Amino acid sequence: MGFIRSSFSFLMGTACGIYIAQNYKVPNIKKLVDTGLSMAKQIENSYKKRDGDKDFEPLKNLDKLSSLEKFQEMQ
């Protein structure tokens, strides 16, 4: 009887999660996080100063359109 009581909330949460995932449009968190990380890496690389680079322009190498298009494709 103790096992049923202790696992009741877990089973109800699982059942509710399955119902919500099947009947509602739930965002894919993994894709959202991956997109955010790739955008952050692009921004970091665009601001990274290279050795011997006298004419440093941080936004020169940033490709905003490709990141925006990837994000919109996920939506």
pLDDT tens digits for range 35-58: 999 999 988 887 776 666 666 565
Extract the tokens encoding 19: 């119902």
Q: What is the pLDDT of residue 68?
A: 59
Q: Identify which has the larger pLDDT, 12 or 63.
A: 12
Where do the domains of the chain lie? 2-74
| Of residues 56, 34, 58, 57, the one with CA closest to residue 45 | 58
Dihedrals φ, ψ of 56, to 5°? -85, 115
What pLDDT sits at residue 49?
A: 67
> Which has more pLDDT, 51 or 60?
51
Report the alpha-carbon distance of residue 4 to residue 7 in Å, rounded: 5
Rounded Cα distance between 12 and 20, Å, is 12
